[in-house]
């Protein structure tokens, strides 16, 4: 699959699922975004993030995923090109910048250079817990319930 598959198919599908509040579809698409990112070693770029923020509600999981993947890059990079991306996002997508700054405080322990988490890993060591990017209403069973072992 082409790396732009995420932008051309997965994100629009998420926008639709969010519009109609279909949690199971939202969660499956988020799982696919993570898996696709891990497999192809890609993460949302600045233009893609602007598009995500334009098309999702406040606090949506693709926005959070964008914030945390950019945070992991910043923790690992020398900063120059990441600073340019953040400057672009500051002018186009102020909401992203607010979420990004909040995440620096909230998740600072996860973005230390000696042990940076990879938000593309789901329920594995070095990533976030299985349902971190899921939305579950009260009583709703996770689509991954019974799949694999990964709740660590």
Q: Which of 16, 25, 121, 131 binds Zn ion (CB under 5 A)?
A: 131
Query: Which ranges constitute the DSSP H helices of 20-151?
Result: 23-40, 46-55, 61-76, 80-92, 94-106
79-88 long-range CB contacts below 8 Å, 24 or more apart?
85/45, 85/46, 88/46
Residue position matching structure tokens 């090109």? 81
Q: Which is closer to Zn ion, CB of 49 or CB of 64?
A: 64
Q: Which stretch binds Zn ion (CB under 5 A): 30-38, 46-54, 60-68, 133-141?
A: 133-141
Residue 93 contacts residue 49 (beta carbons within 8 Å): yes
Q: Which is closer to Zn ion, CB of 64 or CB of 89?
A: 64
User: CB of residue 132 vs Zn ion: minimum separation in angstroms?
Assistant: 9
Q: Which is closer to Zn ion, CB of 26 or CB of 134?
A: 134
Name the residues that contact Zn ion, by CB under 5 A: 131, 134, 142
């Amino acid at each position: 699959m082409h790396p732009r598959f995420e932008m051309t198919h997965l994100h629009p599908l998420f926008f639709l699922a969010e519009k109609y509040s279909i949690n199971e579809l939202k969660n499956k698409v988020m799982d696919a975004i993570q898996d696709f990112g891990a497999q192809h070693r890609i993460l949302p770029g600045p233009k893609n993030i602007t598009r995500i923020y334009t098309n999702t509600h406040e606090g949506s999981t693709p926005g959070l995923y964008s914030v945390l993947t950019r945070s992991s890059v910043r923790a690992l990079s020398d900063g120059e090109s990441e600073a340019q991306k953040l400057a672009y996002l500051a002018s186009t997508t102020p909401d992203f910048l607010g979420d990004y700054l909040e995440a620096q405080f909230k998740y600072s322990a996860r973005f230390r250079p000696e042990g940076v988490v990879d938000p593309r890993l789901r329920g594995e060591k070095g990533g976030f817990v299985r349902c971190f990017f899921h939305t579950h209403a009260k009583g709703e069973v996770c689509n991954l319930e019974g799949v694999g072992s990964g709740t660590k």
